[in-house]
Amino acid sequence: MQQIAALKPNEDVKPFGKQTPTEAKLTKIAAWHTDKSAVQTARDTARINNLGTDMNAVTQWIQSGASDKQVTDNAQTILMACMICGRH
């Protein structure tokens, strides 16, 4: 596979060197970008679903099975995870 161009965040195509991508290549690039975006969206959704499951598990653990020492020992990690989640 030969790299012929870069796709900028605004979806503009920047050819490498003196190459000019053909319309067929631009169409393939656009299709690739659409597919790649769909895959990334699916991965992001799966991560969010997993995060919800993990946060529920931590809550369950804190409420029902963790000792005070365990909660204290892990409090900073749990709080940092919550802060990071709140930013995205």
Domain locations in the chain as residue ranges: 5-87
Question: Which single residue is written with the structure tokens 């895959």?
Answer: 39
Alpha-carbon distance of 88 to 83, in angstroms, equals 9
Q: Higher-confidence residue: 75 or 88? A: 75
Secondary-structure percent of the chain, ordered helix, strand, coil, rounded to 5: 70, 5, 25
Token output for 65 = 């099975």
Q: Report CA 21 to chain centroid distance, whole Å.
A: 30
pLDDT band for position 6 (50/70/90)? confident
User: What is the pLDDT averaged over residues 25-31?
Assistant: 87
What pLDDT, in 10s, does the model give residues 40-83? Answer: 999 999 988 888 898 899 999 999 989 999 999 999 988 888 77
Query: Looking at residue 42, what DSSP letter applies?
Result: H
Tokens for 75, please give them. Answer: 């409090």
pTM for this prediction: 0.61
